[in-house]
């Protein structure tokens, strides 16, 4: 259960809250205060990174859409030419950070212990250790979730959403808040397309309904398709 945003609260789905309910009002006020507090820390994170010439890229998606696999390939390709650092968030375990270790890139883990998103303070606590020497890019793997990470600015310069072709082309319409905030969407696992009924054009049209200027890159960490375009995007981001 996420204690910050309350998205896992028992009974919530069965008994929707009424707007006039005092408990609801208190919860909304508390939520606003939490988000305002988070936004202030996020702004400080961004300023701290700007002072060091580091760009932060936040990867968001549902669990299993391929964030860590993409990062493994990304570190292997770009570590020789760019100075990178990675923060890997998970509800439980440090398995992703372990997968990404040993590639010559500093990696830190955040185990949220139940919360279904990273918050700006999770990043703030690790900035000195991870990015004190001003790497070109700090890449964050957010907790796998298509709802809550949307509301929490981390101080990133670029938010990238991953959507795998096994998830269905309707997801941008079902989770518009998250896709609206992502300037770039990686359509992942496109090597699987021959085995699926997935309408790429419909999916991209749905993405553009939610965010008309979205940049979509079709990628496969397995076949390598689209990966150079992704790496070029990161190179350009690092050069900003």
Ligand X SMILES: Nc1nc2c(ncn2[C@@H]2O[C@H](COP(=O)(O)OP(=O)(O)O)[C@@H](O)[C@H]2O)c(=O)[nH]1
Q: Which parts of this chain interact with Mg ion (CB under 5 A)?
A: 67-68, 96
Q: Is 69 in the site for ligand X (CB under 6 A)?
A: yes
Member of 38, 45, 188, 206 binding ligand X (CB under 6 A): 188
Q: Is 45 in the site for ligand X (CB under 6 A)?
A: no
Q: How far is the CB of 82 from ligand X (least distance, A)?
A: 21
Member of 94, 191, 199, 204 binding ligand X (CB under 6 A): 191
Q: How far is the CB of 189 from ligand X (least distance, A)?
A: 4
Q: Is 220 in the site for ligand X (CB under 6 A)?
A: yes
Nearer to ligand X, 66 or 155 (CB): 66
Residue 103 binds which of ligand X, Mg ion, none (CB < 5-8 A, kind-dependent): none
Q: Is 192 in the site for ligand X (CB under 6 A)?
A: yes
Residue 121 binds which of ligand X, Mg ion, none (CB < 5-8 A, kind-dependent): none
Q: Are 158 and 55 in contact, with CB atoms under 8 Å apart? A: yes
Nearer to ligand X, 54 or 65 (CB): 65
Nearer to Mg ion, 46 or 171 (CB): 171
């Amino acid at each position: 259960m996420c204690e910050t945003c309350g998205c896992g609260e028992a009974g919530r789905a069965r008994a929707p809250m009424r707007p006039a309910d005092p408990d609801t009002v208190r919860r909304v006020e508390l939520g606003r205060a939490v988000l305002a507090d988070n936004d202030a820390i996020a702004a400080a994170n961004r300023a701290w990174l700007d002072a060091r010439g580091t760009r932060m890229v936040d990867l968001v998606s549902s669990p299993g859409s391929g964030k860590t696999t993409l990062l493994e390939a990304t570190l292997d390709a770009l570590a020789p030419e760019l100075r990178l650092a990675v923060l890997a968030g998970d509800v439980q375990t440090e398995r992703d950070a372990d997968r990404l270790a040993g590639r010559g890139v500093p990696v830190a883990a955040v185990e949220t212990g139940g919360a279904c998103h990273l918050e700006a303070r999770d990043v703030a606590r690790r900035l000195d250790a991870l990015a004190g020497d001003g790497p070109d890019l700090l890449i964050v793997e957010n907790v796998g979730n298509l709802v809550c990470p949307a509301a929490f600015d981390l101080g990133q310069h670029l938010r990238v959403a991953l959507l795998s072709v096994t998830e269905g082309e309707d997801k941008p319409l079902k989770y518009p808040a998250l896709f609206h905030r992502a300037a770039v969407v990686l359509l992942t696992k496109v090597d699987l397309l021959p085995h699926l009924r997935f309408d790429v054009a419909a999916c991209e049209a749905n993405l553009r309904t939610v965010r008309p200027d979205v940049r979509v890159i079709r990628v496969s960490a397995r076949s390598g398709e689209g990966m150079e375009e992704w790496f070029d995007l990161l190179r350009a981001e690092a050069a900003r």
